[in-house]
Amino acid sequence: PESIFDYQFEDFEIVGYESHPHIKAPVAV
């Protein structure tokens, strides 16, 4: 995806969390 907003929430939770485990989530949900 061109933007992280193009990811589904479940995909973001897996990919984003594993990529940045110390950030949890760079986007407010």
Cβ pair 14, 24 in contact under 8 A: no
Tens-digit pLDDT profile for the chain (29 aa)?
Answer: 566 666 566 655 555 555 555 555 556 55
Helix, strand, coil shares, percent, the chain, to 5: 50, 0, 50
Which residues have CB under 8 Å from 9's CB, separation 6+? 29
Give the separation between CA 26 and CA 20, rounded to whole angstroms: 9
| pTM given for the model | 0.14
Handedness of CA 29, 13, 4, 2 (dihedral sign): negative
